A and B are shown apart, each in its own frame.
Chain A
Amino acid sequence: MATRRISSLLSRSFSASSAFFVSQGRKSGRGRSIHRFSTAAVLEEPITPPVQINYTQLLINGQFVDAASGKTFPTFDPRTGEEIAQIAEGEAEDVNRAVSAARKAFDEGPWPKMTPYERSRILLRFADLVEKHSNELAALETWNNGKPYEQAAKSELPLFVRLFHYYAGWADKIHGLTVPADGPYHVQTLHEPIGVAGQIIPWNFPLVMFAWKVGPALACGNTIVLKTAEQTPLTALYVAKLFHEAGLPPGVLNIVSGFGPTAGASLASHMDVDKLAFTGSTDTGKIVLELAAKSNLKPVTLELGGKSPFIVCEDADIDKAVELAHFALFFNQGQCCCAGSRTFVHERIYDEFLEKSKARAMKRIVGDPFKKGVEQGPQIDSEQFEKVLRYIRAGRESSATLECGGDRLGSKGYYIQPTVFSNVQDDMLIAKDEIFGPVQSILKYKDLDEVIHRANATRYGLAAGVFTKNVNTANTLSRALRVGTVWVNCFDVFDAGIPFGGYKMSGIGREKGIYSLNNYLQVKAVVTPLKNPAWL
């Protein structure tokens, strides 16, 4: 039962680690004697994904339709770089069609005019349908994205279902306030849906990002135009189809597959879109916000990049810290905005930590993500693949010590060896830029003030890991770190109720939890005079 827990599946911590690691961690690797850094797994014929691709068109107003231009684009299998399918390529005109469908479903109903209970039931039915189809969805997610099937099936699909149950429960619990006035007035606030929400999601967690965006928007009574990443258009189309099966009225959720500069930009600058939520890189986030500023000032939430510190204090349990630091960086092929990509280790335990980290990385099982026991699949595409290799070269040239890895793995697809650098200095590129790949940078520190200062000396402020047994150290670091999430003795805990988002240039606003509702609500104050009030 413990292994089925959602949080323990996606996250690792002392309390949840034992159950999880057995199921897909190093023990299973040893048990099956898959060679470390083995190209064998990669060179084998790719396993055929157990799923059909049925949906490749745009979803507008409840119908799957071709792009207005008739154009399509290929989507690829990262294991081989081969084409999986041709997808309808949405552009400005398709975004216009999708926005007007969403506009109509919002302005004329039925969505915001249904009772919250009805909306809630549709979300619950949808969650049930996804659960029913979760094997196919997990296969599709892995096929299109390259993440291990076990991760997709055991972590991400359950998390997806969990998020929709969570937001379904919110739909009928969105309360306004009554407000104490300074005179004889009755004051209340209404928390209203904003209207048409434009949402742009990335390729690293296609389904989970879908849920973070779509869940709160629909629970609050908004309608949606969602643009998926061009690398991973498939799963969103599949689940959107299930959503309509669950009773979602046409026009409430529209999906446009396509590219950022065309479909994304026209969504961000659309005059009839009332709200924009974007997850992606900081540079693109700046463009998106500017487009909103230049067009109609739609409120924008941004969830952007990070260069998150993972701080191992001298009193930490080293073995656990090594395992979690490894996980914090390498999880999802290192393609996490919140990756613990600066591993700060106290000088007294640095040597031991480094030795064990290197050993752990060398044991990491890389291979076909459909294969049982594989921990790391390919990177998403050739662009990312090249970029990661470029950063590895930059690391070598900057005189950081390459402890292991450092090359591609195999000759096909976008596999990269788990790579560890030691002796990393703060001013090196690999300690400053978001690499978004399986490259761990280990840095040494002496005292708490120093590590606080260094951890905060970045334009980012997304997350931090803190490893210590001392409550004072934990409290000091928790307050001093300018980040949206502090994981103390754990990492990547993504429960539905925990808000996630960035300080500084890591973003604006929070997703998940009660805080995420604010992103999709307008506050309206309503004031009327009181005649002879019994109380004020």
Chain B
Amino acid sequence: MAGRRITSLLSFSSSTATSVPSFGRYSIWGRGISRFSTAVAAEEPITPPVQINHTQLLINGQYVDAAAGRTFPTFDPRNGDVIAHVAEGDAEDVDHAVAAARKAYDEGPWPKMTAYERSRIMFRTADLLEKHLDEIAALETWDSGKTYEQSANVEVPMLIRIFRYYGGWADKIHGLTVPADGLYHVQTLHEPIGVAGQIIPWNFPLLMFGWKVGPALACGNTVVLKTAEQTPLSALYVSNLLHEAGLPPGVLNVISGFGPTAGAALASHMDVDKLAFTGSTDTGKIVLGLAAKSNLKKVTLELGGKSPFIVCEDADVDMAVELAHSALFFNQGQCCCAGSRTFVHERIYDEFLEKARARASKRVVGDPFKKGVEQGPQIDSEQFKKILKYIRYGIESGATLESGGERFGSKGYYIQPTVFSNVQDDMVIAKDEIFGPVQSILKFKLVTNHPKHLDKKKKPLSLALIDALIDNRNLDEVIQRANSTRYGLVAGVFTQNIDTANALTRALRVGSVWINCYDVFDAAIPFGGFKMSGNGREKGIYGLNNYLQIKAVVTPLKNPAWL
């Protein structure tokens, strides 16, 4: 049972480490798959156990061709072969989709149904997703290259979980009654915003679908969703299930297509009331600019990161190594919240480095459909080349390449798990989001000397206070370095000391702090960025705010019994 827990599957932590065998290193040892073996990649790719039935745009409950009749190919990242040709949505298709969503919102039935009815459709969707879990997971792996075990055991269950979570919210969206300063009855209504435009990325196509569509529908909005051009397939599949579950036509419209055409048309559409975007910071800036120039639609952004993973000297080194490894390499390193700056305390640095390198060298790379494989190919040739370029930068900037550093095999977009040590803050690999299997390990120092400025003070200080100051100075360096980035998405903190944990938790300017764990993505935990990692929070109760408008309603009171 523990092995099937959603959290324990996606996340690693000391308390759930026993679940690691399900797709961690134990399974590798047990099955004797060679590390860095090109054998797996060179073998004939396993045929995915799924049919592709939906390649058209989904508008107003119907699968339709693009207005222009155009299609674009979607590829298998294992070999770069074409999987299918997908209808390519452009501005005109976005117009049709928005008109359908507009009608379903303005005239109903969606926002005019009871919240309970909306909730039941979402629950039924979750049940249908569960029924088709294997096919959906296979489709996700085929199109994105992530391991099938991860898709089937983690991501599709999380999608189901998200739909049940937000299904449960639908009938629990409460406004407030408000104390007034006079003879008034004041209430607030939490209303759906209207038509939500949503643009999702390719790294977690289904999860991002769940994060976006779940709260939007629960709050009574209608949706036009644009998928990433790399991964259009699974959203089309699950959207069909939503309609099977009873979703009325026009409530959820799915446009496959490209950012500069379909994405831009959605972001600047005058009839879209809300936009949610997940992707790079640079694209996020463009999206927000388009919203500003058009109709000031409200925008939530979930963008890039360069998240610190801080290993303090009192951390359990083995556990920290394993979690730092998963924090970076999970999903081929293609996570906005990847722990891509591994800060290790100098006292344990050598031991940590040795073990981190050994762990990376043992990482099983290969056909993501193969059991026991931990790492599949990168998403496409563009990302593949970008990562190899960053690896070259790392080597040229004088960081020490500890393992990996090259492509893996000769076909598809596989890259060796790569570890750099002696990484300095000003190196490009320590500053830019690489979005690949490249771990950068940085050292931070301990200030052991008694602080000189304290000696000069005549006022006696208690030992405890001096200790506290030393501790603070010790942490100051890593806090300052961890925070000196334009990003602020997440951080990992490894320590057994509660004071260290508390000090770092408050000082780190990030949206999530995972202490002695990482990548815990429960439905109720809000996720989002400080600084240029984004605006707003997804998941949890906070995710509802993105899809609600607040309306204050005021009426005078005659002879009220109380105020």
- List, in ascending order, chain A residues with CB within 8 A of B178's CB: 495, 497-498, 513
How distant is A335 from chain B, measured CB to nearest CB, in Å? 22
CB pair A187–B291 under 8 Å, yes or no, is no
Q: A484-B551, A510-B550, A522-B530 are in contact. Are A185 and B522 (CB under 8 A)?
A: yes
CB pair B511–A505 under 8 Å, yes or no, is no
Q: For residues 391 through 445 of chain B, which have their beta carbon under 8 Å from a beta carbon of chain A? A: none
CB pair A185–B181 under 8 Å, yes or no, is no
How distant is A432 from chain B, measured CB to nearest CB, in Å? 16
- List, in ascending order, chain A residues with CB within 8 A of B541's CB: 177
Asked if A331 is an interface residue, CB under 8 A from chain B, the answer is no
CB pair B554–A493 under 8 Å, yes or no, is yes
| A289 to B299 alpha-carbon distance, docked (Å) | 11
- List, in ascending order, chain B residues with CB within 8 A of A482's CB: 194
CB pair A182–B5 under 8 Å, yes or no, is yes
CB pair B554–A525 under 8 Å, yes or no, is no
How distant is A488 from chain B, measured CB to nearest CB, in Å? 4
How distant is A312 from chain B, measured CB to nearest CB, in Å? 16
CB pair B550–A501 under 8 Å, yes or no, is yes
Please count how many residues in chain A sit with their CB below 8 Å of the partner chain's CB atoms: 78
How distant is A5 from chain B, measured CB to nearest CB, in Å? 5
Q: For residues 502 through 536 of chain A, which have their beta carbon under 8 Å from a beta carbon of chain B? A: 503-505, 507-508, 510, 513-515, 518, 522-531
Asked if B50 is an interface residue, CB under 8 A from chain A, the answer is no
- List, in ascending order, chain B residues with CB within 8 A of A259's CB: none
- List, in ascending order, chain A residues with CB within 8 A of B295's CB: 459, 504-505
- List, in ascending order, chain B residues with CB within 8 A of A507's CB: 296
Q: A190-B505, A497-B179, A526-B513 are in contact. Are A13 and B556 (CB under 8 A)?
A: yes
CB pair B517–A185 under 8 Å, yes or no, is yes
Q: Which of A49-57, A291-299, A416-424 is the interface stretch?
A: A291-299
Q: A16-B556, A489-B555, A525-B526 are in contact. Are A289 and B291 (CB under 8 A)?
A: yes
How distant is A265 from chain B, measured CB to nearest CB, in Å? 14
**Which residue of A285, A289, A485, A527 is within 8 Å of B551 (Cβ)?**
A485
Asked if B549 is an interface residue, CB under 8 A from chain A, the answer is yes
Asked if A474 is an interface residue, CB under 8 A from chain B, the answer is yes
Q: A179-B525, A185-B522 are in contact. Are A286 and B296 (CB under 8 A)?
A: yes
Asked if B454 is an interface residue, CB under 8 A from chain A, the answer is no
Asked if A157 is an interface residue, CB under 8 A from chain B, the answer is no
Most A C-beta atoms less than 10 A away, residue of B273, B540, B541, B557: B540
Asked if A483 is an interface residue, CB under 8 A from chain B, the answer is yes
CB pair A523–B7 under 8 Å, yes or no, is no
Q: CB-defined interface of B515-543 with A at 8 Å, one 1/0 digit per residue?
A: 11100101111111011101111001110
Asked if A478 is an interface residue, CB under 8 A from chain B, the answer is yes
Q: CB-defined interface of A465-488 with B at 8 Å, one 1/0 digit per residue?
A: 000000000100011001111111
- List, in ascending order, chain B residues with CB within 8 A of A459's CB: 295
Asked if A189 is an interface residue, CB under 8 A from chain B, the answer is yes
CB pair A493–B184 under 8 Å, yes or no, is yes
CB pair A483–B551 under 8 Å, yes or no, is yes
How distant is B170 from chain A, measured CB to nearest CB, in Å? 17
- List, in ascending order, chain B residues with CB within 8 A of A247's CB: none
How distant is B172 from chain A, measured CB to nearest CB, in Å? 14
- List, in ascending order, chain B residues with CB within 8 A of A11's CB: 182
Q: A15-B558, A187-B524 are in contact. Are A529 and B183 (CB under 8 A)?
A: no
Q: For residues 184 through 227 of chain A, which have their beta carbon under 8 Å from a beta carbon of chain B? A: 184-185, 187, 189-190, 192
How distant is A309 from chain B, measured CB to nearest CB, in Å? 14
Asked if A183 is an interface residue, CB under 8 A from chain B, the answer is yes
| A277 to B435 alpha-carbon distance, docked (Å) | 33
CB pair A486–B180 under 8 Å, yes or no, is no
Asked if A361 is an interface residue, CB under 8 A from chain B, the answer is no
CB pair A182–B527 under 8 Å, yes or no, is no
Asked if A74 is an interface residue, CB under 8 A from chain B, the answer is no
- List, in ascending order, chain A residues with CB within 8 A of B554's CB: 485-488, 490, 493, 498
CB pair A528–B516 under 8 Å, yes or no, is yes
Asked if B186 is an interface residue, CB under 8 A from chain A, the answer is yes
Asked if A499 is an interface residue, CB under 8 A from chain B, the answer is yes
CB pair B16–A488 under 8 Å, yes or no, is no
Closest to A471 in B: B555
- List, in ascending order, chain B residues with CB within 8 A of A321's CB: none
Q: A486-B553, A488-B553 are in contact. Are A495 and B510 (CB under 8 A)?
A: no
| A366 to B530 alpha-carbon distance, docked (Å) | 50
Q: A181-B524, A183-B6, A508-B298 are in contact. Are A527 and B513 (CB under 8 A)?
A: yes
| A296 to B301 alpha-carbon distance, docked (Å) | 13
9 interchain residue pairs of minimum CB distance: A7-B182, A183-B7, A293-B288, A289-B292, A529-B15, A529-B13, A13-B556, A488-B555, A528-B515
Listed A/B pairs (13) with beta-carbon separation below 8 Å = A179-B525, A185-B7, A185-B520, A290-B293, A293-B288, A485-B551, A488-B553, A498-B180, A499-B552, A504-B295, A510-B550, A525-B540, A529-B14
Interface set of B (CB-CB < 8 Å, partner A): 5-8, 11, 13-16, 161, 176, 178-184, 186, 188-189, 191, 194, 273, 281, 284-286, 288-289, 291-293, 295-296, 298, 301, 303, 486, 501, 505-506, 509-517, 520, 522-528, 530-532, 534-537, 540-542, 545, 549-558
Known A297-B284, A484-B549, A498-B178; 8 more pairs at CB < 8 Å: A13-B183, A13-B184, A296-B486, A490-B554, A495-B180, A515-B550, A518-B545, A526-B515
